[in-house]
Amino acid sequence: MPENKLVRFENIDGVGVVTIDNPPVNALSPGVPEGIIEAIERGNADPAIRAMVLIGAGRSFIAGADIRTFGNRPPPVLGKRAHDALDASQKPVVAAIHGYALGGGFEIALASNYRIAVPSAKVGLPEVLIGIIPGSGGTQRLPRLIGPKAALEMIVSGRHVPAEEAHRLGIIDELAPEGGDLRQAAIAFARGVADTKPLPRIRDHDEKLAEAQADPGMFDAMRKSIARRARGQKAPYHCIQSVENACKMPFDDGIVRERELFNELENSAEARALRYAFFAEREVARLPDIPRETPLRPIKTAAIVGAGTMGGGIAMSFAEFGFPVQLLEIDEDALARGLARIRSTYETSVKRGSLSTAEMERRLGLIEGVGSYDDIAQADVVIEAVFERIPVKEEVFKKLDATMKPGALLYSNTSGIDIDIMANATKRPQDVAGTHFFAPANVMKLFEVVRGAKSALDTLMTAMDLGRKIGKVSAMAGNGDGFVANRSRTPFGTEMIILVEEGALPEQVDKVMVDFGYPIGPFATADLSGLDIGYDSRQRRAAQNPNYRKLPIADHLVEIGRLGQKSGAGWYRYEKGDRTPHPDPEVARIIKDKAAELHIAQRNFTDEEILRRLLFASVNEACKILEEGKAYRASDIDVMWLNGFGFPRYRGGLMYWADGIGVAEIYRQIVQWHQRYGERWAPSSLLRQLVETGTPFRDAKPGGR
């Protein structure tokens, strides 16, 4: 038999060790399943082999099907797949798991007779996150192994389950010592079970399915519980359907049906958008003008200046990922308030059951309040999160320059101030960059790295890496007002208020965007963040630009004390102690009066017009950003919208969505609105070029770099 390069077979004293070697994550690319089938058949045919071990080379077991092949290969032929070969094996097969066993990789482990894993390994069926369902038996075997309820939870969430939890659930038979020799442990395990008869095969066991007979309502209850989260999507419902089938059909019928459900989804709009998002989030890490091998500066300890809303959230992000972090405030009272707010946020999570008390204490133990710059001088990185005022920021950076050890990274969390102002306040501008978190900083995943004129390459690369290390998605942005994320979102924020001036109501705009897939509407979001934030930035912009388009209704609300949820009223009204937004006739009256005062005619809007007004305004701005070379590619802007602004992931992102409409149509509409509404709709020249050359946004080449 010719040796398959992706899958090796070795006889180690009677145990056939099958090693999958397809870097970087041993995806099941063409050749890998075939290699596994050959190896299992070879082990069965060889009388010298008593048992087999399946193991991954490199950093992982198997991360699943090769996502790159989805949608561009002929439909898979229902036939002899790797798990059929495993089912047919007469000799025990032990899956030895380290790193990840996900999707099709986990399904191979489930079709094996036994599973052993190191504690750091993770297993799961994350297919739903890319808009499909497990297609190689996962929805049929997992409910048989751990019961339909636990299986539903895993499959519908797509979460990665740590090996220790998987062991408790009964997925993993044995935990091997971390840092030990997993291969040896698996070989020893395989020897121990070599003579077991009959071989345990998950497909033969229906006992756990009885749980569904006892609680037949569990599937509908699950459908109900995801209704809000899964709006507009099919995959989560197909997952539930397939697990329900496992409880109602014989195994082989369930498998056939699972594959049909899988095939229905593979090329759905939702699956294509989610695959796009998956690869966009990997592409964003590639910086075309910074060599990949740029050495990173080591980061073991961090400090934060300013323990307010953002500083506290940033400290929590560091602590979550095990970094000791110091907090420096303006005085003891402010520090005590900051630390108390962190504790109370954790306590709320403990109350809700999403955090254990022990984990809270571990994290709190990593956060240390300090009293002076000398205390933080040895930190590897410091993030400034003080008031958004230039003189305050300059003062802080001067002090950091005077005290921080040489080579310390000096980052600013400013949301809009020119990074070079902070850099130039120091004698080490090469060590300065922006690291822009999004509120709440401990929750939102976007981490925008802002490049100053003098930021050294390793300052930027280390920032990108740091974001990943604290669980964020890092994206690089050029310096300039609002950087990339907020700048591209600003026209949306302006347009929604102008729509209201023209006769739409906040609740109507919110409904359109929620129906589109946002978790909450933009006016409700504004109330949540506080209307004073936008007010301040409008005042600043108006002072700088005499042609600035004022937003009198929004300004008026703030001036009469309607600051949003925190003051009990904003675009909506709120009952005491309740966060539910209620449409407010008072706001409708204010809108009407102000519009009359400003001589703005009132009219009705279709949902489509509202959606397009908001999103096209931002698409146009995104083109200007690309044209100026402030972002590397349209997909980076998508990554920012997905992770910073709650844009529905199953729509891929702002620019991916726009490509679905097409550059020509968007340009046509923008030109029309330019004629009607004036300068703010002036089309970007990049957009015009894209139309002339028939280039989609995803292929737009940014200028300036």
Classify residue 62 by its DSSP letter: B
- Of 284, 639, 293, 296, nearest in space to 461 by CA: 296
From 131-139, 248-256, 407-415, 671-679, span contacting ligand 3HC (CB under 6 A): 131-139
User: Under rule CB under 6 A, which residues in 246-305 are in contact with ligand 3HC?
Assistant: 282
Q: Which is nearer to ligand 3HC, 30 or 407 (CB)?
A: 30
Question: What is the SS3 string spanning 68-90?
Answer: HHCCCCCCCCCCCCHHHHHHHCC
95 binds ligand 3HC (CB under 6 A): no
Judged by beta carbon, residue 173 or residue 388, the one nearer ligand NAI is: 388
Candidate segments 130-138, 380-388, 430-438, 445-453, binder of ligand 3HC by CB under 6 A: 130-138
CA atoms of 97 and 118, how far apart (whole Å): 7
Catalytic residue among 3, 34, 41, 107: 107
CA 474 to centroid of chain Cα atoms: 10
Q: Which of 104, 313, 491, 522 binds ligand 3HC (CB under 6 A)?
A: 104
Sole binder of ligand 3HC in the list 43, 103, 482, 570 (CB under 6 A)? 103
Taken in order 440, 445, 451, 457, the sign of the CA dihedral is: positive
692-695-700 Cα angle (round to 5): 115
Residue located via tokens 């019928």: 253
Of 33, 35, 131, 134, the one binding ligand 3HC (CB under 6 A) is 134
Q: Is 396 in the site for ligand NAI (CB under 6 A)?
A: yes
Applying CB under 6 A, the span of 136-144, 322-330, 350-358, 641-649 interacting with ligand NAI comes to: 322-330
CB atoms within 10 A of CB 311: 25
Q: Does 310 engage in binding with ligand NAI (CB under 6 A)?
A: yes
Token output for 44: 């069965």
H helix or E strand, kind and range, residue 172: none
Residues numbered 570 to 589 that lie near ligand 3HC (CB under 6 A) are none
Residue 332 interacts with ligand NAI (CB under 6 A): yes or no = no
Interaction of residue 334 with ligand NAI, rule CB under 6 A: yes
Type of residue found at 26 = N
Residues whose CB is less than 8 angstroms from the CB of residue 79 and which lie 6 or more positions away in sequence, other chains included: none
Token pair of 74, please? Answer: 């002929």
Counting contacts by CB under 6 A, is residue 109 touching ligand 3HC?
A: no
The nearer residue to ligand 3HC, 56 or 126, going by C-beta atoms, is 126
Contact 633, 477 (CB under 8 A): no
Q: Name which of ligand NAI, ligand 3HC, none residue 582 binds, using a CB cut-off of 5 to 8 Å depending on partner kind.
A: none
Our finding on whether 413 is near ligand NAI (CB under 6 A) is: yes
Q: Which is nearest to 45 in space by CA: 90, 3, 7? A: 90
Q: What are phi and psi of 506, to 5 degrees?
A: -50, -40
Selection from ligand 3HC, ligand NAI, none that 102 binds (CB < 5 to 8 A by kind) is ligand 3HC
- Nearer residue to ligand 3HC within complex by CB, 25 or 176: 25
Which does residue 385 touch among ligand 3HC, ligand NAI, none (CB within 5 to 8 A, set by kind)? Answer: ligand NAI
Q: Which residue number is nearest to ligand 3HC in terms of Cβ?
A: 103
Contact 477, 483 (CB under 8 A): yes
Q: Which does 330 bind (CB under 5 to 8 A by kind): ligand NAI, ligand 3HC, none?
A: ligand NAI
Dist. CA 257–CA 276, nearest whole Å: 27
SS3 582: strand
Q: Is 185 in the site for ligand 3HC (CB under 6 A)?
A: no
Residue 107 catalytic? yes
Q: What sign for the dihedral angle of Cα 304, 307, 313, 318?
A: positive
Residue 474 touching ligand 3HC (CB under 6 A): no
Strand partners, 123: 101, 161
* Alpha-carbon gap, residue 306 to 328, rounded angstroms: 6
Q: Does 410 bind ligand 3HC (CB under 6 A)?
A: no
DSSP conformation class of 28: B
Q: Are 229 and 648 in contact (CB under 8 A)?
A: no
Q: Which is nearer to ligand 3HC, 276 or 673 (CB)?
A: 276
138 vs 107: CA distance, rounded Å:
5
Q: Are 258 and 242 in contact (CB under 8 A)?
A: yes
Torsion angles phi and psi, residue 399, rounded to 5: -65, -40
What's the rounded Cα separation, in Å, for the pair 705 and 703? Answer: 6
> What's at 142, amino acid-wise?
L
Query: How many chain residues are in contact with ligand 3HC, going by CB under 6 A?
Result: 22
* 3-state SS string for 224-239: HHHCCCCCCCCHHHHH
Q: Among 34, 38, 127, 361, which one carries the catalytic annotation?
A: 127
- Which residue of 25, 116, 190, 655 would you call a contact of ligand 3HC, by CB under 6 A? 25
**Residue 31, phi-psi category: left (phi > 0), alpha (psi -120 to 50), beta (remainder):** left
Q: What's the min distance (Å) between Cβ of 316 and ligand NAI?
A: 13
Determine, following the binding rule CB under 6 A, whether residue 311 of this chain makes contact with ligand NAI. Answer: yes
Q: Pick the piece of the chain touching ligand NAI (CB under 6 A) from 213-221, 282-290, 305-313, 448-456.
A: 305-313
- Out of 5, 68, 427, 550, the residue judged to bind ligand 3HC by CB under 6 A: 68
- Please, what is the minimum distance in Å from the beta carbon of residue 260 to ligand NAI? 46
Piece of the chain touching ligand 3HC by CB under 6 A; list 133-141, 242-250, 456-464, 512-520: 133-141
- Residue located via tokens 């400003």: 598
Angstrom distance (rounded) from CA 564 to CA 385 = 23
Calpha distance 238→578 (Å, rounded): 35
Of 4-12, 102-110, 306-314, 349-357, the segment contacting ligand 3HC by CB under 6 A is 102-110
Question: Would you count residue 309 as binding ligand NAI (CB under 6 A)?
Answer: yes
The answer to whether 140 contacts ligand 3HC (rule: CB under 6 A) is: no
Of 676, 700, 674, which Cα lies nearest the Cα of 687?
700
87 binds, among ligand 3HC, ligand NAI, none (CB under 5 to 8 A by kind): none
Determine the interface stretch with ligand NAI among 88-96, 363-371, 373-381, 437-445 (rule: CB under 6 A).
437-445
Alpha-carbon span 653 to 280, nearest angstrom: 10
> Judged by CB under 6 A, does residue 135 bind ligand 3HC?
yes
Query: Quick one: what does residue 458 bind among ligand NAI, ligand 3HC, none, with the CB cut-off 5 to 8 Å set by partner type?
Result: none
Residue 131 engages ligand 3HC in binding (rule: CB under 6 A): no
Q: Give the nearer residue to ligand 3HC in terms of CB position, either 127 or 458.
A: 127
Give the 3-state secondary structure of residue 123: strand
Which residues are at the interface with ligand 3HC (CB under 6 A)? Answer: 24-25, 27, 63-68, 100, 102-104, 107, 126-127, 130, 134-136, 138, 282
Which residues are at the interface with ligand NAI (CB under 6 A)? Answer: 305-311, 328-330, 334, 338, 385-388, 392, 396, 413-415, 437-439
Catalytically active residues, by annotation: 107, 127
